[in-house]
Amino acid sequence: MSFTHTIAQRAASIDSCVCVGLDPDLNKLPRHLPRDAAGVTEFLLHVIDATAGIACAFKPNLAFFGALGVGGLEVLAHVRRNIPSDTPVILDFKAGDIGNTAERYADMAFDVIGADAVTVNPYMGFDAVRPFLRPGRCAFVLCLTSNKSSADLQHLPVDGRPLYTVTAEIVNRWSSHGECGLVVGATHPDELEEIRKTSPTLPFLIPGVGTQGGDAEAVVRRGSFPGGGGILINASRGILYASDGEDFADAAMKAAEDLRAATSGLPQGV
């Protein structure tokens, strides 16, 4: 089964396009939890349990686990094993390196961690992306990111057009070799609509809603497939750190439910 079909089934079954980002920051853990790997593990397992009925996907960020030290990958592996089997996992690590190194990154993501999809930086070209195009897996390629300085490169003119539109067209071609998606920030709603018109069949992973200021309703209206669907709206800090008290899991569930409610039943497509 294709990744896109898996996501579509999951989204339809729970009426949700919410992707819960797992970015465990020791400095932001609830006050009663220890600031160590054990605290992170307890924190994330409770959040996953609380949001499992709302999350269309979970997106662990490798950097936050690596920051835990040598045991960080063990924490990530344990967390991955506790994500329900019907919920896809996107490993966020924005890999992008030459072919043989990219192959090892793909082995780590898919064979060791058990991810269903990854985020990939396209700067080094197709060699950096090809190893992630395995059957049933998906490579979400950075196109137009939500950070403020994204324009430094992503808006550079190429034959009179911004680079992000050229990137989207290139990824469309790459998708003939395996499943690709695009990472497009919610902080760029007009550009999101533009990219959807040039990429009508690619799934979009959309960060930047909530803490970064993106509007969830605008994302659904401008980023969905013409017939609806095709988007994963990621929220990390707004869900994970909705409370720093002992009610953190309940607060995370409410934040995730609020995001689902804000994006459910809206007219979709462009």
Query: Which DSSP symbol is given to 252?
Result: H
Q: pLDDT-derived band of residue 212, with 50, 70 and 90 as boundaries? A: low
At 211 the pLDDT is 65
Question: What dotted CATH number matches 3-263?
Answer: 3.20.20.70
Show the tokens assigned to 3.
């990744």
Determine the pLDDT at residue 215.
82
Prediction pTM value: 0.95
Mean pLDDT of 235-263: 96
Q: List the chain domain ranges.
A: 3-263
94 is catalytic: yes
Which candidate, 52, 56, 57, 66, places its Cα nearest to that of 23? 66
Query: Going by DSSP bridges, is the β-strand pair 161-162/157-158 parallel, antiparallel, or unpaired?
Result: antiparallel
Read off the DSSP letter of residue 209. B
Say which DSSP state 36 is in.
S
Band (pLDDT 50/70/90 cuts) for residue 270 is very low
> How many residues comprise the chain?
270
Q: Which of 80, 86, 84 is nearest to 109 (CA)?
A: 80
Query: pLDDT tens digits for 113-138?
Result: 999 999 999 999 999 999 999 999 99
Burial letters 159-197, b for 16+ CB under 10 A, else e: eeebbbbbbbebbbebbeebbbbbbbbbbbbebbebbbe
Considering the candidates 94, 148, 197, 254, report the single residue annotated as catalytic. Answer: 94
DSSP conformation class of 226: T
Average pLDDT over residues 5-31: 96
Q: Per-residue pLDDT tens for 132-148?
A: 999 999 999 999 998 88
pLDDT band at 269 (very low <50, low <70, confident <90, very high): very low
Please report how many Cα atoms fall inside a 13 Å half-sphere around the Cα of residue 121, on the Cβ side.
12
pLDDT digits (tens, 9 = 90+) for 49-86: 999 999 999 999 999 999 999 999 999 999 999 999 99
Q: Is residue 229 within 8 Å of residue 236, measured between CB atoms? A: no
